[in-house]
Structure 1
Amino acid sequence: MKTFLKIIGILILLLIVYAVVAMLAFGNNYHYEKSMVINAPKEKVWQQVSSMKAFNQWNPWMKLDPSMKIAYSGNAGEVGDKYCWDSKDDHAGAGCQEIKELVPEQKQKTEMIFIRPFAGEATSEIMLSPEGNATKVTWTMDTEQDAMMKVMRPMMDYQMGKSYEEGLNNLKKLAEK
């Protein structure tokens, strides 16, 4: 029993040390980025990223709650195009995403406001660049993190990697049809 308690004590101490190091070592700004080459011209890829309704056709978080309430506003494919989501069981939480900048066939920039499960704000960009006859898509997210989110950064990197990979693969399937 003493050995078990000693192991538990060491594990708790290691978690505390990690948390302190993470809070001190990780900066407040968080940036995530993933790219993929899609075998389609950028005009065709742009059709899938230039509006919130098109984005939600491949958005990986949409499948988290099939009964999620979605409300669109603004003019599709223009600055101000916006959707808000509300997941009943908080599988996907609640919030809004709005297009803040569009450079046709090059860049879509959005602002996200998260309400649940954690309040926060982030910006996201989807940039298209020619790659021979294909299109390189780079999807980014930038946000500021408080101390507790810094502790969770490795888990966030892991989850963002899975989600962005899934989303870009969904986009690839749609654009390469």
Structure 2
Amino acid sequence: MKKFLKILLVVLAVLVIAMFVIGEKYHYEKSIVINAPAEKVYSHLNSMKAFNEWNPWMKLDPQLQSTYSGVSGQIGDQHCWKSDKKDVGNGCQEITALIPNQKQSTKMAFEGQGEATSDIVLTQEGNATKVVWTLDAEKEYPSNLMKPMMDYWMGKSYEEGLQNLKKLSEKP
């Protein structure tokens, strides 16, 4: 019994230390090179409607209820969604910055789950465009221990989204 208690105390100590080492800030990023000029790639992310054409989360709920507000393709362009599916939930995403052919920034509010920001940065590389898609959020203790799981989920979604963007952008 003493050995079990010692092991349990060690496991608890490791978890507490891990919470502080991992920290509260969460950052994820993924990139891809697309064989198209930045102008063409940018046309697929300069509005919420264009972004949602390749957004990997849009297909998670075929019954998703979407509303758009603001001026399409300008700062303040917003997409809000409602879903009965727990893994989709409810929320809004709004464009906070647009630099033509270079960058789109958004903020997201997930009902009951917090907020996040995202940037999509384009860099011309010869005849191709490098796309870097990032997400930043705050994760409170102890949910910050989920970072490895978040990296796994985000990796799958970002990979799918970037591949969708590549297919759209490379169409003749």
The alignment's TM-score, normalised by the length of structure 1, stands at 0.89
Aligned partners of 1:176 and 1:135: how far apart in 2? 11
Query: Are the counterparts in 2 of residues 68 and 86 from structure 1 also a CA contact under 8 Å?
Result: yes
Residue number among 106, 112, 127 corresponding to 1:133 in the alignment = 127
Aligned partners of 1:85 and 1:11: how far apart in 2? 46
Partner of residue 16, structure 2: 20
Write the deviation string for residues 104-124 of structure 1: whole angstroms up to 9, x where unpaired. Answer: 110100000010xx4201110
Aligned partners of 2:110 and 2:161: how far apart in 1? 19
Partner of residue 115, structure 2: 121
Offset at residue 13 of structure 1 (A): 6.3
1:74 to 1:23, Cα distance in 2 relative to 1, 3 A: same
Offset at residue 20 of structure 1 (A): 1.7
Aligned partners of 1:11 and 1:69: how far apart in 2? 49
Query: Are the counterparts in 2 of residues 22 and 150 from structure 1 also a CA contact under 8 Å?
Result: no
The SS at the match of 1:162 is: helix
Aligned partners of 2:67 and 2:90: how far apart in 1? 11
Aligned partners of 1:104 and 1:15: how far apart in 2? 50
Partner of residue 90, structure 1: 86
Offset at residue 151 of structure 1 (A): 1.1
1:171 aligns with 2:171: no
1:100 to 1:9, Cα distance in 2 relative to 1, 3 A: same
Structure 2 unmatched runs, 5+:
none
Aligned partners of 2:10 and 2:82: how far apart in 1? 37
Aligned partners of 1:10 and 1:162: how far apart in 2? 38
Offset at residue 144 of structure 1 (A): 0.9
Q: Percent identity?
A: 57
1:168 to 1:14, Cα distance in 2 relative to 1, 3 A: farther
Partner of residue 71, structure 2: 75
Spell out structure 1 runs of 4+ moving beyond 4 A: 8-15
Write the deviation string for residues 81-109 of structure 1: whole angstroms up to 9, x where unpaired. Answer: 00001111223111000001111110100
Aligned partners of 1:14 and 1:173: how far apart in 2? 49
Partner of residue 44, structure 2: 48
1:26 to 1:76, Cα distance in 2 relative to 1, 3 A: same
Offset at residue 149 of structure 1 (A): 2.0
Partner AA of 1:104 in structure 2: P
RMSD between superposed Cα atoms in Å:
2.1
The alignment's TM-score, normalised by the length of structure 2, stands at 0.91
Partner AA of 2:95 in structure 1: I
Write the deviation string for residues 104-148 of structure 1: whole angstroms up to 9, x where unpaired. Answer: 110100000010xx4201110001010110000000011111012
